[in-house]
Amino acid sequence: MAVENKSAETAQHTPVLVSVVTAVTQCYFWDRYNRTWKSDGCQVGPKSTILKTQCLCDHLTFFSSDFFIVPRTVDVENTIKLLLHVSNNPVGVSLLASLLGFYILLATWAWRKDQADTQKVKVTVLADNDPSSAFHYLIQVYTGYRRRAATTAKVVITLYGSEGHSEPHHLCDPQKTVFERGALDVFLLSTGSWLGDLHGLRLWHDNSGNSPSWYVSQVVVSDMTVKKKCHFQCNCWLAMDLGNCERDRVFTPASRSELSSFRHLFSSTIVEKFTQDYLWLSVATRHPWNQFTRVQRLSCCMTLLLCDMVINVMFWKMGGSTAKRGERLGPLAVTLSELLVSIQTSVILFPIHLVFGRLFQLVHPPEVLPP
């Protein structure tokens, strides 16, 4: 008798794990005259479950039901208490601590890169300019993103116009490294006389250094006298072992039709979007002239990651009942309930991504380029 009482007391104090799933469902019928779904005369029956919906209607027609899984509420106070007791939730605390440590390491690296980038945002006055020259040309040189695109060679440029040509000028800066991968280098070239309308540009290098090969994307020359820009679409290697194996090329200005062509706009937009606008990738490929810094981008990524984790907690195991069914959508092992939850989380996350992705770009100008 004593043993039975002890067993009864033990059973009374044994904790029972209860899972509660809240869902909103509604019955509809197809109104063939108005060609829309309506709920008039239909209601959800008492035998409805998470697996099926019972519809009670007072007319006969085509029926359907709307199913929405309501996310659970995240109690911030209880969550903080749980995190303060490491023994109660070692996995969660370890994960958050690892993310925080990883963020601090990356933020330190990003801050150093931002500091180094500030040294690259400058217009270099060429050392071989004649101080008495009165005509100036702003030269923007874009190095491509391809592997081995950067060069250690000494690059020389000559401008050709309808009224003459410039002297060969060495494009260099003693205070920074030029022509790095994906970089924009800006130089000020001066001439003693006006060159007229530009119709050519010559680039070559001496093939010196450990990595002399250079992939030049484009060169933009601005005539400061008449305020006119010429775009030279290079997109080629100046190298002895890549491309056409040439390190001396002459380029002509691109026409308006070439600049507005689909091929040019598509390729330039793809590169710009992925390297500058794609938040996660741009932490590494961010342009020094862009004021949206690496630390700011990394902080946005960390915030979005934490928001994703919170929203995933809201829907954690919400579709567990339906997941047991053998239904699959296509070759992927995805149930209908999981698909509905993924759509709901995407809808919730979209405005958050939109706000944080554009936050600092709205505060600062998107890009600061030389005049």
Domains and CATH numbers, the chain: 21-69 (no CATH), 89-118+276-371 (no CATH), 123-254 (2.60.60.20)
* pLDDT, tens digit, 9 for 90 and up, residues 284-313: 888 888 888 899 889 888 888 888 887 777
Give the pLDDT confidence score for residue 4 in this predicted structure.
Answer: 45
Residues in CB range of 48: below 8 A, 6 or more apart: 25, 54
Three-state DSSP class for 357?
Answer: helix
Which helix H or strand E contains 305, and what residues bound it?
A: helix 294-314
Asked if 169 and 129 touch (Cβ cutoff 8 Å), the reply is yes
Give the pLDDT confidence score for residue 70 in this predicted structure.
Answer: 57
C-alpha dist (Å) from residue 46 to 43, 52, 56, 319, 322 = 10, 11, 9, 21, 19
Q: Show the low-confidence residues of the chain (pLDDT under 70).
A: 1-24, 50, 61-89, 316-337, 357-371
* pLDDT, tens digit, 9 for 90 and up, residues 183-208: 899 999 999 999 999 999 999 999 98
Residues in CB range of 188: below 8 A, 6 or more apart: 123, 124, 125, 126, 129, 136, 137, 138, 139
- The pair of structure tokens assigned to 107 is 């933020």
Give the pLDDT confidence score for residue 135 in this predicted structure.
Answer: 93
On the 0-12 / 13-18 / 19+ scale of CB atoms within 10 A, 230 is: buried
Return the biggest CA–CA distance within the chain.
116
Give the pLDDT confidence score for residue 84 in this predicted structure.
Answer: 65
Give the pLDDT confidence score for residue 125 in this predicted structure.
Answer: 92
Residue 27 to residue 67: CA distance in whole angstroms:
9
